[in-house]
Amino acid sequence: MSDFVKVSRDGDVAIVTIDNPPVNALSFHVREPLLQALVSLRDDPSVAAIVIACAGRTFVAGADITEFGKPVQQPDLRALIATLETIAKPTVAAIHGTALGGGLELALGCHFRVADAGAKLGLPEVKLGLLPGGGGTVRLPRLVGAVKALRMIVSGSPIGATEAHAAGLVDAVFEGDLTAHAVNFAREIARKGGPYTPVRDRDDGLEETDLAAFDAEAGALAKKARGLEAPIACAQAVRNAVTMPFDEALAAERALFVRLVASDQSRAQRHLFFAEREAAKTSAKDIVKRRITRVGIIGAGTMGGGIAMAFANGGYPITLLETSQEALQRGLGTIEKNYAVSVTRGSLTEDAKRQRLAQFKGSTDYADLADCDLIVEAVFEDMAVKKEVFGKLDAVAKPGAILATNTSYLDINEIAASISRPQDVLGLHFFSPANVMKLLEIVRADKTAPDALATVVDMARRIGKVAVVVGVCHGFVGNRMLAARGSESEALLLEGATPSQIDQAFTDFGWPMGPFQMGDLAGLDIGWRNRKARGLTAVIADTLCEQGRFGQKTGRGFYLYEADARTPIADPEVEALIRTKAAEKGIAPRAISAEEIIERTLYPMINEGAKILEEGIVARSSDIDVVWVNGYGFPVGKGGPMFWAGLEGAAKIIERLEYWHDRTAKDVFKPAPLLKAMAETGSWEAGASI
């Protein structure tokens, strides 16, 4: 017996319990005793059946991700499953919580799987840039069919117990004491007598595979992969399960796994997995958090409406405040319309929609915010207006209520200093549309109380956000680095690139869209207003706005938009405008390579990231990666700007920044001291933790 794997008996049924908190990952210290237990139970004539169950909150959630990239210690998962399949007596996996990745593969090594009604089953390896490497691609299709397996493995999304039952992945679903049910199930099966066919020898799911339909579906999924290798490898492996004998397909799966696990893409995605979890931790671990029962939102515009929906979706009752009944009704109307769209799309039931809307209380009276525990302000981006709102909150909010601002750029320390309770003030910087976008920058102001901060970090998880704690600076992490990228995009236009050429370089890099497509989508007028307020200019974008070209919403921006209003069409008028403006500035056009585009837009971003680190705005460089992947579409396969910088090499980045700084004398190219230090030590992560 080991601390991690315990064996008990219920009559002639043996129960093997894996106990490796928090998620029962299949670490070496689990695999070794598990193998021993299975061998000894296999050879023990007094055992009629074996149940594999887990202690704690979940069944096995997968291989131990921290072991990837290190030498494999035997027995590996494949050896474990192979041994499981040598057992002639019935083996039953009892699944509660989640059976993910190697966890589901272990269960597929059993003859039978029974599940708690609330359990979820899936192979999410693709999200780590991998494919299931413990036979999942070869065994799952044998039970659920090739197309269903393809969808599950390429999406990485788990399915519920009921769906898994209907698909043939689990044999029975129970409510209540799962282990007891599993033991009864195993005993009954043993009583009926064998032989019991291991999944590897079953082909129920494969019998009627239509390979042409499979290929069509795989092709469509591959198109969405956007440069990621793992989804393509997943599809290939499932296809092999159909076209090759079991052992051959298993060996092919292994070869693909070995290739992927060593790839930069998988390293990047594993980095992000841990980075997201790190970013959400505050140093104050044992702190007593404040209670949040009701949430107040001020302003029912673009952001306020979305933020209110995000909280409502997380189960919070909302008080939504506006300046007039008219504005309030408009805001509530938009919220109702958005929920109705979800119903039409099938992602929300009519009942759930009614329930969500019932969580909203509208008001135009600040006194109605007195029972709110958290109040988020999303009014106009204007310091005087924000201070006025916070002054009113100071008068009406209950003691200890957390007062948050959704400001994009304003100084939260200044807002906090304007009221009597700065310790309760912080920033909650949501991204548009706030009910959809995963990222939440939580801004810690100088006087923010640690318990207020810890409370909102917790709350972020409850409303499904990926939270990153950041400090106060202009634009925080995301928008500050975006500005560093943006200034060069316009300069490249003037020097001879076209919007399409720049956007193409971005999509080739793996971004979902380039800066000009993104500007057109978000609305060019937002940046224009912001620049005017700060006395800044961007000659091309400003001229487009003066011509009423705000992007998709006006049918014209950097591109033209026709019928579906979403597909950008290159506009010769815009290209002529660019050339005219360049000529006025005396800039002669020249050919610009994709490499130069990436270098001049992304290296300044990394440089700004280094300054952000240096100033202590974030605790670690991986926080910046989490912001960019979840808020701005930085390609996951590159792990975020700072991880990618590590791959590029700090020395190369410095060399190119200095080159461009010599030529242009622009500040964005002046290497940050921290970046220089990193280049000297040759280690990005080591430097980043300075």
102 or 604: whose CB is closer to ligand 3HC? 102
User: What is d(CA 490, CA 497) in angstroms, rounded to the nearest whole number?
Assistant: 9
Q: Is 21 left (phi over 0), alpha (psi -120 to 50) or beta?
A: beta
CB 409, min distance to ligand NAI, A: 7
657 in contact with ligand NAI (CB under 6 A): no
Q: How far is CA 418 from the centre of its chain?
A: 36
566 in contact with ligand 3HC (CB under 6 A): no
CA distances 273 to 124, 269, 283, 640, Å, are 12, 6, 19, 12
User: Which residue in 280, 300, 312, 402 binds ligand NAI (CB under 6 A)?
Assistant: 300
322 or 625: whose CB is closer to ligand NAI? 322
CB 429, min distance to ligand NAI, A: 6
The count of other CB atoms within 10 Å of the CB of residue 629 is: 25
499 in contact with ligand 3HC (CB under 6 A): no
User: What is d(CA 153, CA 141) in angstroms, rounded to the nearest whole number?
Assistant: 10
Among ligand NAI, ligand 3HC, none, what does residue 20 contact (CB within 5–8 Å per kind)?
none
Among ligand NAI, ligand 3HC, none, what does residue 33 contact (CB within 5–8 Å per kind)?
none
User: Which residue in 191, 224, 259, 277 binds ligand 3HC (CB under 6 A)?
Assistant: 277
The residue from 67, 85, 125, 278 that is catalytic is 125
49 or 454: whose CB is closer to ligand 3HC? 454
User: What is d(CA 609, CA 227) in angstroms, rounded to the nearest whole number?
Assistant: 25
Among ligand 3HC, ligand NAI, none, what does residue 66 contact (CB within 5–8 Å per kind)?
ligand 3HC
Residue type, 662: D
CA nearest neighbour of 610 among 659, 652, 668: 668
Kindly provide the residue ranges of all beta strands, DSSP E only, lying in 287-438, ordered along the sequence: 295-298, 318-321, 360-363, 374-377, 402-405, 425-430
Q: Which of residues 398-437 bind ligand NAI (CB under 6 A)?
A: 406-408, 430-432
Tokens representing 165 are 């039952």
Among ligand 3HC, ligand NAI, none, what does residue 380 contact (CB within 5–8 Å per kind)?
ligand NAI
633 in contact with ligand NAI (CB under 6 A): no
Burial of 122 (0-12, 13-18, 19+ CB in 10 A): buried
Residue type, 479: N
User: What is d(CA 129, CA 635) in angstroms, rounded to the nearest whole number?
Assistant: 12
Q: How far is CA 208 from the centre of its chain?
A: 36
254 Cβ contact list (under 8 Å, min separation 6): 78, 133
User: Which residue in 325, 347, 367, 380 binds ligand NAI (CB under 6 A)?
Assistant: 380
| DSSP secondary structure letters along 13-48 | EEEEEE--TTTT-B-HHHHHHHHHHHHHHHT-TT--
Q: Which of residues 426-485 bind ligand NAI (CB under 6 A)?
A: 430-432
Nearest 5°: the CA angle 642, 605, 522 is: 110
Helix axes 594-614, 499-509, angle to 10 degrees: 70
User: Which residue in 231, 299, 515, 671 binds ligand NAI (CB under 6 A)?
Assistant: 299
Encoded one letter per residue, x for contact with ligand 3HC by CB under 6 A and - for no contact, window 479-498 reads --------------------
CB 541, min distance to ligand NAI, A: 16
CA distances 197 to 12, 83, 107, 186, 618, Å, are 21, 14, 14, 14, 54
Encoded one letter per residue, x for contact with ligand 3HC by CB under 6 A and - for no contact, window 103-142 reads --x------------------xx--x-x-xxx-x------
How many residues belong to the site for ligand 3HC (CB under 6 A)? 26
CB 361, min distance to ligand NAI, A: 15
25 or 605: whose CB is closer to ligand 3HC? 25
CB 414, min distance to ligand NAI, A: 14
DSSP type of residue 237: H
CB 29, min distance to ligand 3HC, A: 12
CB 499, min distance to ligand NAI, A: 21
User: Which residue in 5, 52, 63, 110 binds ligand 3HC (CB under 6 A)?
Assistant: 63
Residue nearest to ligand NAI (CB): 301
Instruction: Give the three-class secondary structure for 308.
Output: helix
Question: Would you call 105 a catalytic residue per the annotation?
Answer: yes
Among ligand NAI, ligand 3HC, none, what does residue 101 contact (CB within 5–8 Å per kind)?
ligand 3HC
378 in contact with ligand NAI (CB under 6 A): yes
The owner of tokens 């193409």 is 504
Kindly provide the residue ranges of all beta strands, DSSP E only, lying in 286-330, ordered along the sequence: 295-298, 318-321
58 or 155: whose CB is closer to ligand 3HC? 58
301 or 314: whose CB is closer to ligand NAI? 301
642 Cβ contact list (under 8 Å, min separation 6): 606, 609, 621, 622, 624, 625, 684, 688
Q: Which of residues 363-382 bind ligand 3HC (CB under 6 A)?
A: none
Among ligand 3HC, ligand NAI, none, what does residue 507 contact (CB within 5–8 Å per kind)?
none
The residue from 67, 85, 105, 615 that is catalytic is 105
Q: Which of residues 326-345 bind ligand NAI (CB under 6 A)?
A: 327
User: Which residue in 85, 322, 441, 495 binds ligand NAI (CB under 6 A)?
Assistant: 322
319 or 455: whose CB is closer to ligand 3HC? 455
Q: What are phi and psi of 592, to 5 degrees?
A: -125, 130
325 in contact with ligand NAI (CB under 6 A): no
H/E segment holding residue 312: helix 302-313
Sheet holding 13-18, edge to edge: 5-10, 13-18, 49-54, 91-95, 112-116, 172-174
User: Which residue in 33, 62, 519, 671 binds ligand 3HC (CB under 6 A)?
Assistant: 62
Instruction: Give the three-class secondary structure for 494.
Output: helix
307 or 493: whose CB is closer to ligand NAI? 307
Q: What are phi and psi of 492, to 5 degrees?
A: -65, -35
Kindly provide the residue ranges of all beta strands, DSSP E only, lying in 417-463, ordered along the sequence: 425-430, 439-444
140 or 190: whose CB is closer to ligand 3HC? 140
156 in contact with ligand NAI (CB under 6 A): no
Candidates 22-30, 375-383, 498-506, 616-624: pick the segment binding ligand NAI (CB under 6 A).
Answer: 375-383
Among ligand NAI, ligand 3HC, none, what does residue 389 contact (CB within 5–8 Å per kind)?
ligand NAI
Question: Would you call 336 a catalytic residue per the annotation?
Answer: no
H/E segment holding residue 309: helix 302-313
User: What is d(CA 690, CA 687) in angstroms, rounded to the nearest whole number?
Assistant: 5
Residue pair 18/54 in contact (Cβ under 8 Å)? The answer is yes
Sheet holding 159-160, edge to edge: 98-100, 120-122, 159-160
105 or 599: whose CB is closer to ligand 3HC? 105
Among ligand 3HC, ligand NAI, none, what does residue 298 contact (CB within 5–8 Å per kind)?
ligand NAI
Candidates 101-109, 203-211, 307-315, 623-631: pick the segment binding ligand 3HC (CB under 6 A).
Answer: 101-109
161 Cβ contact list (under 8 Å, min separation 6): 95, 115, 116, 117, 118, 119, 120, 121, 170, 173
CB 135, min distance to ligand 3HC, A: 9
Binding site for ligand 3HC (CB under 6 A): 22-23, 25, 58, 61-66, 77, 98, 100-102, 105, 124-125, 128, 130, 132-134, 136, 274, 277
Binding site for ligand NAI (CB under 6 A): 298-304, 321-323, 327, 378-381, 385, 389, 406-408, 430-432
Active site residues: 105, 125
